[in-house]
């Protein structure tokens, strides 16, 4: 196995996987033993981007230059006091990359100790395992990708902490003659629509609305025919219904659910997809966790939200996101927070301006990128803390209050 992973001809090519599994970052892919600050220190070297332990490297290629992957040890929760960056023969390499490694150590410590998202944690892991004496360009590329993700989450934090952004979502939904009535009420309405039509029944819109309203009224007296009609309109926009023409004497057509939507998981996913699409079309970039709270009132549906977002979103350019970031900052109502975000904006602009086709791949460039990443990640964490603090001081209206606001503003139109 070792001979397949490491070539003896000095080539930089290897037959190892292009990327280690996230769950295997804590162990050597050759001996399969966990990294430790003793003989199993993780190192990166010239022949492969897979991080392996120092003992396996010494046994297979004792003369290869290497870098001790101190950042990965920190990310794994290992104390690195007294561990050298490299051996005596690697002094030149160690000296050249020292500043970059120090930045990566700090970055790993922040990502490990703070509540960063799974997406950012994964990108940090991917960045760390590429630390070798010859992978500077790859580090810059992965660093830019990480910066893009940090910016996207920072925009989402700004928007989610700003109640006006959530009101913008409700307004965008209402502008399409649709309705979101809060997690509990919306869910019950969807289940009743499914109950009425899951057996292939065909009902008129009016009869379906009356069925749902009558069943909801004992528990949710605020539900109206207009609001339920708008929930049905949301499903109509999603393409969930099939219409059956009646005789010419009949004024309305009958509605039936398409066969693929006659189960809760399918109709709920299509419903959520339509709302998220409306939000994205309105320039709202909430994270999967935020969407889960908006649509379900909890954080248990992040995976579903991420799956929907992956299908709906086309990667925006880094430059576009820096512009949206400024717009999100302008809508904040906390001057201290806004100033902190304005100060970090040039860091994102600098990361966005990196042309991966023209970078030289020097350690100085890696040093610059990692320093920028550290600043931006610290600001994201500070913004998350600020969001939590402000939400405790001034909670937005509850789901029922939001729903009643939506009902009132909608009813005024009719």
| Whole-number Å distance between alpha carbons of 381 and 111 | 9
**Residue 117, phi then psi, degrees to nearest 5:** -70, 165
Tokens of 91: 């002094």
The domains located in the chain, with CATH, are 2-121 (no CATH), 164-312 (1.20.120.1790)
Does the pLDDT of residue 24 top 90, yes or no? no
pLDDT in tens, 247-283: 666 667 899 999 999 999 999 999 999 999 999 998 8
Residue of 177 and 400 predicted with greater confidence: 177
DSSP string computed for 388-399:
HHHHHHSPPPPH
Least confident of 5-14, 131-140, 160-169, 355-364: 5-14
Answer whether 43's CB lies under 8 Å from 152's CB.
no
Q: What percent of the chain has pLDDT over 70?
A: 82
**Residue 235, phi then psi, degrees to nearest 5:** -70, -35
pLDDT at 92: 67
pLDDT at 48: 58
53-62, Cβ contacts within 8 angstroms, sequence gap of 24 or more? 53/28, 55/31, 56/2, 56/28, 56/30, 56/31, 60/2, 60/6, 60/30, 61/6, 61/8
Q: Where are the beta strands (DSSP E) in 236-366?
A: 241-244, 254-257
The mean of the pLDDT values for the chain is: 84
Q: Specify which residues 243 forms β-bridges with.
A: 255
Q: Report helix, strand or coil for 27.
A: strand
pLDDT in tens, 54-89: 899 888 888 888 888 999 999 998 888 878 776 655
Does the pLDDT of residue 369 top 50, yes or no? yes
DSSP string computed for 261-272:
GSSHHHHHHHHH
Does the pLDDT of residue 396 top 50, yes or no? no
pLDDT in tens, 276-315: 999 999 888 888 888 999 999 998 999 999 999 989 877 7
| Whole-number Å distance between alpha carbons of 142 and 147 | 9
Among 287, 327, 283, 273, residue whose Cα is nearest residue 168: 283
pLDDT at 88: 54
pLDDT at 84: 76
pLDDT at 6: 39
| Whole-number Å distance between alpha carbons of 279 and 267 | 19
Residue of 368 and 384 predicted with greater confidence: 368
Among 152, 138, 118, 122, residue whose Cα is nearest residue 352: 152
Residue of 284 and 198 predicted with greater confidence: 198
pLDDT at 317: 86
Top mean pLDDT of 50-64, 84-98, 182-196, 305-319 is at: 182-196
Q: What is the layout of strands, in order, in the sheet containing 42-45?
A: 48-53, 42-45, 66-68
Q: Report helix, strand or coil for 124.
A: helix
- Looking up tokens 């070798």 gives 132
**How many other C-beta atoms can be found within 10 angstroms of the C-beta atom of residue 390?**
17
DSSP classification of residue 185: H
Q: How many residues make up the chain in this entry?
A: 414
Residue of 106 and 249 predicted with greater confidence: 106
Average pLDDT over residues 329-358: 89
């Amino acid at each position: 196995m070792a001979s397949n992973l490491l070539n003896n001809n000095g080539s930089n090519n290897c037959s190892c996987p292009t990327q280690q599994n996230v769950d295997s970052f804590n162990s050597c892919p050759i001996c399969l033993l966990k990294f430790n600050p003793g003989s199993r220190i993780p190192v990166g070297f010239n022949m492969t981007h897979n991080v392996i332990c120092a003992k396996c490297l010494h046994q297979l290629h004792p003369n290869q230059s290497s870098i001790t992957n101190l950042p990965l040890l920190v990310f794994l929760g290992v104390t690195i006091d007294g561990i050298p960056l490299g051996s005596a023969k690697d002094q030149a390499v160690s000296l050249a990359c020292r500043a970059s490694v120090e930045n990566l150590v700090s970055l790993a410590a922040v990502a490990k100790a703070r509540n960063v998202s799974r997406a950012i944690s994964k990108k940090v892991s991917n960045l760390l395992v590429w630390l070798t004496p010859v992978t500077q360009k790859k580090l810059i590329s992965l660093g830019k990708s990480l910066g893009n993700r940090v910016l996207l989450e920072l925009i989402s934090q700004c928007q989610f902490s700003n109640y006006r952004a959530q009101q913008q979502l409700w307004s965008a939904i209402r502008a399409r003659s649709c309705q979101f009535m809060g997690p509990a009420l919306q869910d019950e309405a969807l289940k009743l629509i499914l109950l009425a039509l899951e057996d292939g029944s065909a009902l008129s819109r009016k009869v379906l609305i009356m069925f749902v309203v009558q069943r909801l009224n004992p528990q949710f007296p605020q539900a109206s025919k207009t609001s339920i009609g708008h929930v049905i309109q949301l499903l109509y926009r999603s393409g969930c219904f099939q219409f059956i023409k009646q005789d010419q004497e009949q004024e309305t057509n009958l509605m039936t659910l398409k066969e693929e939507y006659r189960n809760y998981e399918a109709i709920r996913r299509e419903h959520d997809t339509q709302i998220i699409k409306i939000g994205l079309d309105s320039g709202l970039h909430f994270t999967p966790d935020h969407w889960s709270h908006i649509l379900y009132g909890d954080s248990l549906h992040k995976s579903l939200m991420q799956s929907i977002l992956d299908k709906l979103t086309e990667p925006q350019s880094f430059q576009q996101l820096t512009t949206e970031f400024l717009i999100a900052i302008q809508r904040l109502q906390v001057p201290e927070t806004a100033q902190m975000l304005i100060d970090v904006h040039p860091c994102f602009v600098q990361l966005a301006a990196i042309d991966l086709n023209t970078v030289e791949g020097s350690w100085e460039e890696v040093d610059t990128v990692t320093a920028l990443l550290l600043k931006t990640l610290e600001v994201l964490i500070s913004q998350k803390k600020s969001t939590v603090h402000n939400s405790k001081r001034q909670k937005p209206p509850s789901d029922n209050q939001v729903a009643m606001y939506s009902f009132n503003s909608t009813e005024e139109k009719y």
